[in-house]
Amino acid sequence: MAKYHFRLTEKTTNDPEFLNDILSKGKYMSLALCRDNEPYIVTLSYGYDCENNSIFCHCARKGLKLDIIRSNNKICGTVFLDEGYIQGECGQPYRSVVFRGIASEITKLDEKKHAMSVLLNHLEDDSSIIRDKKLKEDNIYNSFGILRIDIADISGKKGR
């Protein structure tokens, strides 16, 4: 896809610290997918693996999202941190990232365990509660799917 420049360059950044901060603080991403020229968008909770520049999300083992990714694994996603609309000013402070990458299903047990660890550490204040309650046995990992998104390109934007 051709790269476009942002019109308001003072609002954009490629600063790794800014980008990592948004991905680390966000809890949900919107993921755009496409198959046979038919777009599809889905919002998912996620876990960000800063060291490997990747994002993990859990999902069902079957369904439209996986069918589309199996057909076309190129994705575009966004994470948006809303800092509250300002009444009377028509203003919206925010920070966001847009990223592109490749999505893949994780099937190996050790990779699934790592992905769930990243996901739970990202979303939960105390990840051991869920781990001890729902992930005690290895066979449980067969009951759900895990997607890994390897980020190839990312940019950030801030308003106000």
58: which DSSP letter? E
**Domain locations along the chain:** 11-159
With contact defined as beta carbons under 8 Å apart, do 72 and 33 qualify? yes
| pTM attached to this predicted model | 0.88
Q: From first to last of its 160 residues, what are the pLDDT tens digits of the chain?
A: 555 555 555 668 889 999 999 999 999 999 999 999 999 999 999 999 999 999 999 999 999 999 999 999 999 999 999 988 999 988 889 999 999 999 999 999 999 999 999 999 999 999 999 999 999 899 999 999 999 999 999 999 988 7
* Residue 92: per-residue pLDDT: 87
Query: Domain 11-159 has what CATH class?
Result: mainly beta
